[in-house]
Amino acid sequence: MAMVEIDGVRKRYEGGFEALRGVDLAIEEGEILALLGPNGAGKTTLISAICGITLPTEGTIRVGGNDVVADYRAARDLVGLVPQEVNLEPFEKVINTVRFSRGLFGKPKNEALIEDVLRKLSLWDKRDNAIRELSGGMKRRVLIAKALAHEPRVLFLDEPTAGVDVELRRDMWEVVADLKRQGVTIILTTHYIEEAEAIADRVGVINKGQILLVEEKAALMRRMGEKELRIELGTPLDAVPEALEGFGLEVSGGDLVYRYDSHAERTGIGRLMAAVAGAGLVVRDVATVQKSLEDIFVGLVARQEDAA
């Protein structure tokens, strides 16, 4: 059984705008799923529907087998949320807001755990500061601490590293890795492809309220893994020589560029290299480049927009 099961979820707002248009998604226990999508794709609406902040118009959502509407207590017990906006009570002390979150979720007092959470997020020294005295990055850490304070089994991070410095991003990745070791299921939405590439097990792409694809990150990159072979020549070229026509080559910056599927049975590289040698060209260097997740993502979104 999946930890989070989303079946045919639609969300229509009063004005008629449909933020989610039939989302089906299963998230396994202990995995890290990165949801990628442009602004307004429906990422936050989907998370809000799972966490109980917004009610889906159609469809069902279960967390740990509990329906988020009918069994909301059991479902929400398992879920922690780090929202995108820095929403915090400005006048309260850091440690008190974190204690509040634990109490609100019905968990008994545990000062040792709260200290541990605050230390991991480098907030322990600031525990008695009022929130408004903290920098933007520190406030974001407080949001994470609040979500972790009630020991969630499923953690949603809605754009957790949007606009934060490198140090916090690295700290946060460490916290995420630590949680994964404890078996916590993590769903993060992000704009940053490198973030998904760095920490996710699976990647989902969402756009215009629809999930376009969900796949193992490695498989996704392999499947969509078009590679580029760049041949630097002794004498830079202006155009593809006649002898090499038929290979679909391009000339870029004086180099020959060949695109191929790295998983195809015949990549055509051997034939190309033989032809290059046969044409009397001197090869100075050869480089291959794998497509990044970003290229894949941009390609998918563009394709959906063409189809629409």
Residue 157: which residues within 8 A CB-CB, separation 6 or more? 82, 144, 172, 176, 186, 187, 188, 189
Q: State the residue for tokens 């055509």.
A: 268
- CB-nearer residue toward other proteins: 146 or 202: 146
Q: Is 124 in the site for other proteins (CB under 8 A)?
A: no
Q: Which of 43, 62, 102, 217 binds other proteins (CB under 8 A)?
A: 102
Q: In what side-by-side order are the strands of the sheet with 210-216?
A: 79-82, 154-158, 185-190, 32-36, 202-207, 210-216
Closer residue to other proteins (CB): 72 or 287: 72
Long-range contacts of the stretch 194-202 (C-beta < 8 A, 24+): 195/34, 195/161, 195/169, 196/34, 196/36, 196/293, 197/292, 197/293, 198/173, 199/32, 199/34, 199/173, 200/32, 200/33, 200/34, 201/31, 201/32, 201/33, 202/31, 202/32, 202/33, 202/34
What is the closest distance, in whole angstroms, from the C-beta atom of residue 214 to other proteins in the complex? 24
Rounded to the nearest whole angstrom, what is the least distance from the CB of residue 104 to other proteins in the complex? Answer: 5
Q: Candidates 99-107, 187-195, 229-237, 300-308: pick the segment binding other proteins (CB under 8 A).
A: 99-107
Task: Find the binder of other proteins among 99, 153, 202, 217 (CB under 8 A).
Answer: 99
Answer for which of 8, 28, 58, 104 binds other proteins (CB under 8 A) is 104
3-state class of 86 per DSSP? coil
Residue 170 Cβ, how far from other proteins at the closest point, in Å? 26
Among 60, 96, 210, 267, binds other proteins (CB under 8 A): 96
The footprint of other proteins on this chain (CB under 8 A) covers a number of residues equal to: 35
Residue 55 or 283 having the CB closest to other proteins: 55
* 202-207 and 32-36 beta bridge pairing: parallel
- Residues 43-82 binding other proteins (CB under 8 A) are 48, 51-55, 72-77, 79, 81
Binding residues (CB under 8 A) for other proteins: these are 13, 48, 51-55, 72-77, 79, 81, 83, 85, 87-92, 96, 99-108, 146
